DNA sequence: AACCCTTATGGAAACGTTTACATTGATTTC
DNA sequence: GAAATCAATGTAAACGTTTCCATAAGGGTT
């Protein structure tokens, strides 16, 4: 069996209590014994058992993150932010992806009890009651991009509505009239808010002049399909606003395939500003979310909640978005009208923030 | 305080043993009491404490992953693979990034003891002795892309040498003679192997005719810098092989900025085949690693190790790589010589595997 | 020299489970 | 009808820590 604190105590000729004190850096232990203990521990390759320790300290130094998925540029960035903030505080990260499977997500959530000090939950798929049924009570939790009327927990959301509104406005100001929108998944709260932003900017009504809404699911394939549909329409839309960048990529592929050029024949915009957006040709106009900041902020918020643990202001915090105008929308950033002058800017935002590995 | 198994026992009017049995689905408990217990548990919102449970069962249903970083396309894909395999087995994932900080990595490693059933370690930065000093003994571990002479643990590596060799050969066969190579970080084992593959293909000698090695660190910025250097050389290299895709991206940016076109004025190749590679213009010729498979395989291997736990074959497994010829290298896939015919293929590998979210 | 105060150390309880073992009561078997 | 078997349940030990409390040993201060 593996070596425990008792073995160290025996080897150093002291009691387990002293070993524990020495190893945790308490001051009430002699220099001499302390050294003897350290030496014994090192020699035996002793490593304390985390489960036993956190059983009694009621601290795990770990936070759990339940995300809908772990894959893709968005989550990579999100995890980066969460990890960065966690590391800064010496916390570990227990990640989990639910992949729309509610039962599995529930099981995961229950398994978290006793293993984490707090929970970060992103569950954009509306599912009333799910959280209140399955969140361990008494466990500090921060909800990210999550719907529902749960008001016991702090909540962070992205300004999807504002971002979509701004982009739509930008396209309108650029002179486009028939602007199509490609939706995200049906019951996704982010997707719904983006659609609402588009609609509000277009003039509230679902059948406002120029309004045209296609379904999608945030996947590139869905964008590609939507692109095909768009190209076959009779009064063809002049611009397409996809609810995320991956779908914009799909639309672009469909356009290229059909020999239509973007933005000349069809303007294009996305949402998220994933790293790829600025490398595409044409570079993609999009709505930037500071995704890593989002994650970082959420973790910071969670830690606050853990530290107070009593009074919960349960406020909602909104992460702002930012319009990023590149070439794909055919409209210069300063909102001038001409549709053909959009090829020269966006060369400067070539920030080297990425570090590929390997 | 939060509700424990005792509370449930009291509420159901039984002993804690019965509650435990009922909740874990043992068969030796009456239907009647079982129901009563379940009901009490549900009503009290009881969730078992993972720390207490794994303290006695010696199982955590969690595996730890220590990676150099969590960010970027490569790790995103790797985690996807690991997560997929873990979920399939009902295992949780405790991730951690070491960011080259040895002390921090050591602390993390020790903190894993008692919290995980096994460990996945990727530590491409050569550091002899580090692992043997800090890996919890008796803890099943699989080493990924990790050097050192540790022969107690199973090991998975990528065929970096073979991949780099194949790409270099491809460039040579395409008619290029002066082929430059942009290195990865100095003490990185993946990077070293890729360099070795390049050298071997070029003719072993560091100063073989046409050989030209520039330093780098896998970052886009390094590629950009290397690109600038390359453009200033007198007998300018005809082709550049970057040790990873991100650096290739940087080289491309430098070329574009200088008005040089790829592949006409300078051929370009990368390594990894990150998702972005096929979206760039020109699309990037690269060496594909099935990264997700790599992760999946590593986890499978770890689970095997955990399950046997006694005899350790401690074998090494090599993940194959695959040459992906697109347009940036200016050489068609079938190795014909002309340098100017490389613009029409690679349109078919447009696989919709990605699902951006949101 | 008796006192108190401080400091180092050990003993043992506690954390919330699971499980080996003991106990009970019912059912079968002769 | 008593003995033997069996299923359901309870009791208590164990897992490896931390920490409260008690104890012992110094070290000043009267």
Residue A310 CA neighbour count, 13 Å, CB half: 0
In whole angstroms, what is the distance from residue B78 CA to residue B329 CA?
26
Strands B92-97, B62-67: pairing is parallel
3-state secondary structure A62-78: EEEEEECCCCCHHHHHH
In whole angstroms, what is the distance from residue A352 CA to residue A356 CA?
11
Give the closest of B74, B93, B108 to A95, CB-based.
Answer: B93
Q: Around Cβ B339, how many Cβ atoms within 10 Å?
A: 16
First to last CA, chain A: 38
For chain A, the C-alpha Rg in angstroms (whole number) is 26
- Starting at the edge strand found earlier in the chain, the sheet holding A92-97 runs A316-319, A154-158, A141-144, A118-122, A62-67, A92-97, B92-97, B62-67, B118-122, B141-144, B154-158, B316-319
pLDDT higher than threshold 50 for residue B353: no
Percent of chain A with pLDDT over 70: 89
Asked if A77's CB is within 8 angstroms of B357's CB, the reply is: no
Q: Which residues in chain B are contacts of A51 at CB distance < 8 A?
A: 50-52, 54-55, 60, 114-115
pTM of the model: 0.88
Q: B98: pLDDT confidence band, cut at 50, 70 and 90? A: confident
Cβ-in-10-Å burial (0-12, 13-18, 19+) of A93 comes to buried
Determine the pLDDT at residue A336: 42
In whole angstroms, what is the distance from residue B175 CA to residue B342 CA?
13
Q: Are B309 and B140 in contact (CB under 8 A)?
A: yes
- How many helices and strands in chain B, by DSSP H and E? 12, 12
Q: Which residues in chain B are contacts of A191 at CB distance < 8 A?
A: 358
Backbone angles phi, psi at A216, to 5 degrees: -170, 180
Nearest Cα of chain B lies from the Cα of A258 at a distance, in angstroms, of 13
Tokens of B310: 């006694």
Question: What is the per-residue burial (b if ≥16 Cβ within 10 Å, else e) of B179-212?
Answer: bbbbbbbeebbbbbbbbebbbbbbeeeeeeebbb
Give the closest of B92, B115, B221 to A96, CB-based.
Answer: B92
Determine the pLDDT at residue B103: 86
Determine the pLDDT at residue A176: 93
| Residues, CB < 7 Å to strand D | A 1-2, 4-6, 16-17, 19-21, 23-24, 46-49, 52-53, 55-57; B 13-18, 21, 27-30, 32-33, 52, 55-56, 114
Asked if B50's CB is within 8 angstroms of A352's CB, the reply is: no
Nearest CA-CA partner of A74 in A272, A222, A219, A217: A272
Three-state secondary-structure class, residue A269: strand
Task: Encode pLDDT of B23-82 as tens digits.
Answer: 998 888 898 899 999 999 999 999 999 999 999 999 999 999 999 988 888 999 999 999
Per-residue pLDDT, averaged over B223-232, amounts to: 95
Task: Encode pLDDT of A155-204 as tens digits.
Answer: 999 999 999 999 999 999 999 999 999 999 998 999 999 999 999 999 86
- DSSP for B107-124, written as a single string: HHHHHHTTT-SEEEEE--
Strands B286-289, B316-319: pairing is unpaired
Q: A1: pLDDT confidence band, cut at 50, 70 and 90? A: low
Nearest CA-CA partner of A237 in A163, A322, A329: A329
């Amino acid at each position: 069996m593996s070596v425990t604190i008792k073995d160290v105590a025996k080897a150093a000729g002291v009691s387990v209590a002293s070993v524990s004190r020495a190893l945790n850096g308490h001051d009430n232990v002699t220099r001499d014994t302390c050294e003897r203990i350290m030496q014994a521990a090192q020699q035996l390759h002793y490593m304390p058992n985390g489960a036993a320790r956190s059983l009694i300290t009621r601290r795990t130094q770990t936070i759990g993150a339940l995300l809908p998925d772990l894959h893709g540029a968005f989550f990579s960035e999100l995890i980066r932010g969460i990890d960065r903030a966690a590391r800064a505080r010496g916390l570990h990260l227990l990640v989990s992806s639910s992949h729309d499977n509610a039962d599995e997500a529930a099981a995961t959530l229950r398994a978290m009890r006793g293993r984490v000090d707090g929970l970060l939950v992103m569950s954009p798929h509306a599912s009333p009651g799910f959280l209140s049924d399955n969140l361990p009570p008494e466990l500090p939790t921060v909800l990210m991009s999550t719907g529902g009327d749960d008001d016991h927990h702090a909540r962070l959301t992205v300004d999807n509505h504002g971002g979509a509104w701004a982009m739509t406005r930008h396209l309108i100001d650029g002179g486009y009239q028939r602007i199509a929108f490609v939706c995200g998944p049906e019951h996704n709260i982010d997707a719904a808010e983006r659609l609402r932003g588009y609609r509000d900017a277009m003039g509230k009504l679902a059948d406002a002049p120029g309004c045209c809404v296609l379904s999608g699911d945030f996947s590139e394939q869905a964008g590609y399909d939507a692109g095909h549909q768009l190209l076959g329409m009779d009064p063809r839309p002049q611009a397409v606003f996809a609810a995320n960048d991956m779908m914009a990529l799909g639309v672009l592929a469909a356009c290229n395939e059909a020999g239509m050029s973007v933005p000349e024949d069809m303007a294009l915009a996305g949402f998220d500003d994933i790293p790829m957006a600025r490398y595409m040709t044409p570079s993609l106009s999009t709505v930037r979310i500071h995704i890593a900041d989002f994650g970082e902020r959420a973790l910071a918020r969670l830690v606050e909640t853990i530290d107070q643990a009593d009074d919960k202001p349960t406020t909602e915090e909104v992460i702002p978005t930012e319009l990023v105008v590149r070439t794909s929308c055919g409209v210069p950033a300063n909102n001038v009208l001409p549709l053909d002058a959009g090829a020269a800017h966006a060369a400067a935002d070539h920030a080297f923030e990425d570090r590929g590995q390997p």
